[in-house]
Homo-oligomer: A and B are copies of this chain.
């Protein structure tokens, strides 16, 4: 069996960016959306990567995303704001909320910014990485369409509402936690389905509430919350902050990106950004973080464990590897992108790492 092609991250981003642009997105905006997707692929979160290009394009076409909508700031106070996304791309609404939140954190020590009338905003890590580059601590939350039953329920009610946290370190890479509040991200089940692989028992139930190992049945059923009632509670408060408090949808009022073609998603986000310097000198803080990392790294390890890892470390290493060696796309995704390329007069094969290296004379 032929192994899948690998793609150069910059060329792959350009490919997506040009498609979005030709679909009516301003070039500068298209760049942000494409970069947020490829960043996810680089970090191994393939479920949130370029696999989403086709659904994004379809939602523009069906007027479920308005790529030219104004993104405005409401309810502004010294340390607070709500970003009204006007149903533009989630990545653009998230970008705006992040920037307002960082600016407020730098000015007052803290920036709390909600967002409403948004769409799927990609990975939380994308925003967390940008905040730690500016030496800020950040908590990023978003709600999502219905995927998980409440504890005691049988059908999807809550989203897998993700939480991401970024913290700058000194000699260590930043602490980047990015997790769905489900046992696993629903996207991982989508990928398993696309790869035609089975999923482990315990990840999800089918549409009758029965445990299943079929990715297809799981997608028709419900992913389970992380750690039972605790994950249920965490998912709820993320929905409350991102949705109920901002004016976005919440619970069943967050529409499904793949299935709902009548209403925009109305996703909500919530960014809490903190300027370390208001609490302690950033250099001392970084030394303390490094001490913490040194301590964890030198803990005795269980049999067969070669290294104790810090959240974000695997993704960072994978990102460096994929930048060099290319991003491998499953056949299904590759085919989808090839066909989309034909539609927008673009050739995906020009982004393959082999072709890029050849054209660069490597």
Contact = CB atoms under 8 A, between A and B. Distances in A.
A137 B288 contact: no
Given A151-B309, A153-B305, A236-B311, 5 more contacts: A75-B278, A151-B308, A153-B302, A227-B230, A247-B280
Interface of A: 75, 77-80, 82, 108-110, 112, 114, 137, 139, 149-155, 157, 163, 165, 167, 175, 177, 179, 183, 209, 226-227, 229-234, 236-237, 239-241, 244-247, 250-252, 272, 274, 276, 278-280, 285, 288-289, 292, 295-296, 299-302, 305, 307-311
Given A153-B300, A245-B279, A301-B154, A77 B236 contact: no
A244 B299 contact: no
A157 B250 contact: no
A308 B150 contact: yes
A152 B308 contact: yes
A212 to B, nearest CB: 15
Residue with the greatest number of chain B CB neighbours at <10 A, chosen from A108, A244, A296: A244
B236 A155 contact: no
Given A280-B247, A285-B244, A152 B110 contact: no
The binding surface of chain A is classed by DSSP as: mixed
Contacts of A311: 229, 232-233, 236
A226 to B, nearest CB: 4
B279 A179 contact: no
28 contacts: A75-B279, A77-B278, A78-B79, A78-B108, A78-B109, A79-B79, A82-B279, A139-B237, A152-B307, A152-B308, A153-B296, A153-B299, A154-B300, A155-B300, A157-B296, A157-B299, A165-B233, A165-B237, A177-B233, A177-B234, A179-B233, A227-B231, A239-B292, A245-B285, A246-B279, A247-B279, A250-B292, A251-B295
B175 A240 contact: yes
A109 B79 contact: yes
A251 B302 contact: no
Contacts of A280: 75, 245, 247
B179 A305 contact: no
A251 to B, nearest CB: 5
A252 B294 CA distance: 12
Nearest to A305: B152
B230 A179 contact: yes
A252 B295 contact: yes
B295 A240 contact: no
Contacts of A108: 77-79
A164 B96 CA distance: 29
A47 to B, nearest CB: 16
Contacts of A227: 183, 226-227, 230-231
A165 B238 CA distance: 10
